[in-house]
Amino acid sequence: MKTNKKNREEPIPFDGTMPESTPLPDVQPKKSKKKKKIAVACILLACLLGGICWYFIYINPNALTQTLQDVRNHITGMYGSKQSYIYYPIDHDLDITTVEGYMELDRDLHYKNGSETVMITDANAEFYTQDVLFFKTYFDYAIHGEYEAYNALFTDHYYETNEPYHSFTQQMIYDIEIEKLSETDDARGKIYAYNVSYKIYRNNGTFRNDIGSDGAKTLYFELLEADGTILIDRITYYT
């Protein structure tokens, strides 16, 4: 069978050069308006966060700590408090004995029994009962920020409705007064009832968040003496 030469294409001889490629049309995808808005919003948010961080780190570094503390304190108030207070910044490294204003205040324990009020000191402590002297230990732990030792001063019954402290700073407590109300027998032992009042100089809210600086609220204490040990069984407040 013969092949028709007219229908055959003759090969083009290769001369060593590459054929020029046809350029593609310059087509750019259209950017979505939604993506543009998201990008702008992200940039603005980053600028806002950057400004906030700059303020808290360089301009007012104590503001963040104080703000977080205020939020915490406003959520829950001790001893029935529903009032908000402005507290001093928290400083766990502060040695309160270096604060001249505090050291000039009356930091002694005053015991009121009827119409008589006396100051309890190491010199006259031997003349008072253990329930009175218990408060020297109580305030010593609070003043020195020894929260673990402080937590050990309470009965299991107290912790059925209250939480122990996880920490608190040294407390500049002053104008301390305890008043003995009664002494009664209980099935568990002997119960001592007291009114307790004191103030906190430059209160930072870590120990008491129901009073402001230099303010006072009288609390009602019940001490339980059992097996020769005295512990706090109840603390409440007067409405």
Q: What does pLDDT average to in each consecutive run of 10 residues of the chain (239 residues)?
A: 52 55 54 68 77 65 56 52 81 97 97 92 94 97 98 97 95 98 95 97 95 94 97 92
Assess contact for 176 and 109: CB atoms under 8 A. Answer: yes
Q: How far apart are CA 232 and CA 224, in angstroms?
A: 6
**Residue 75, pLDDT score:** 41
**Residue 185, pLDDT score:** 95
Predicted TM-score (pTM) of this structure: 0.68
Q: How far apart are CA 226 and CA 134, in angstroms?
A: 14
**Residue 54, pLDDT score:** 63
Question: Does some domain include residue 217?
Answer: yes
**Residue 105, pLDDT score:** 98
**Residue 74, pLDDT score:** 43
Which domain range does residue 52 map to?
Answer: 44-75
Q: How far apart are CA 221 and CA 209, in angstroms?
A: 18
Q: Backbone phi, then psi, for 63, in 5-degree steps?
A: -65, -40
Do residue 70 and residue 84 come from a single domain? no
| Residues forming beta bridges with residue 220, ordered by sequence position | 195, 236
| 57, 75, 93 - which closes a domain | 75
**Residue 71, pLDDT score:** 47
Parallel/antiparallel/unpaired status of strands 116-120 and 189-200:
unpaired
**Residue 149, pLDDT score:** 98
DSSP 5: G
In sequence order, which residues have a C-beta less than 8 Å from that of residue 191 and are 6 or more positions away?
182, 183, 184, 185, 222, 223, 224, 225, 233
**Residue 169, pLDDT score:** 97
Q: How far is CA 24 from CA 21, 27, 29, 194, in A?
A: 9, 8, 14, 94
**Residue 76, pLDDT score:** 45
Do residue 107 and residue 143 come from a single domain? yes
Do residue 126 and residue 52 come from a single domain? no
Question: Does some domain include residue 1?
Answer: no
